[in-house]
A = this chain, B = another copy of it.
Amino acid sequence: MAETAEARLAALGVVLPEPPAPAASYIPTLAVGTLVFVSGQVSILGEEKYVGKLGREHGVEDGQKAARISAINILAQLKVALGDLEKVKRIVKLTGFVNCTPDFTEAHRVINGCSDFLIEVLGERGKHTRSAVGVATLPLGAAVEVEAIVEVG
């Protein structure tokens, strides 16, 4: 993929926001060696909010949109931390938490909304390892929360 991540974002009509401030006592990103850890990013971005549970308030498609917001927030945090998304060498690992009912079995399809967007924007550099799980609740009632480990260089 010759295009830059910024060019891909523009083509997709996505403007990275000022990234959300942490909701609590932590920092959004931290670099150690060539790894950058990104704190869990919830599916809330200004007016665009996905709160509530998969399997109750939301179906899989809504959940994928929620997970896409987590992806946008991850990229927004990386942009602030690195200055330039071209410094992202690889998305190494995502952990995706889905706020859902005890009978919901599609957490992996929901988190695809995050994974697919990162691959769309970053190409090969966006392909990552991952876990997806369904949890009892998330901070602020968010539908989705995704954290990331990123290789830079």
Q: A interface vs B, CB < 8 Å?
A: 22-30, 32-35, 37-40, 53, 90, 92-95, 97-98, 100-109, 111-112, 115-116, 119, 127-141, 145, 147, 149, 151
Protomer copies: 3
Contacting residue for A135 out of B28, B93, B94, B136, CB 8 A: B136
Of A90, A100, A129, A151, most buried by chain B (CB within 10 Å of CB) is A129
Question: Among the interface residues A27, A98, A131, A138, which one has the most CB atoms of the partner chain B within 10 A?
Answer: A131
Asked whether A30 and B137 contact (CB < 8 A) given A130-B40, A131-B40, the answer is no
A23-B108, A109-B24 are contacts. A133–B132 as well, Cβ < 8 Å? no
C-alpha spacing A100/B33, complex, angstroms: 35
Q: In the complex, which residues of chain B have a beta carbon less than 8 angstroms from the beta carbon of A112?
A: 24-25
Q: Is the CB of A137 within 8 A of B39?
A: no
CA distance A119 to B26 in the complex (A): 9
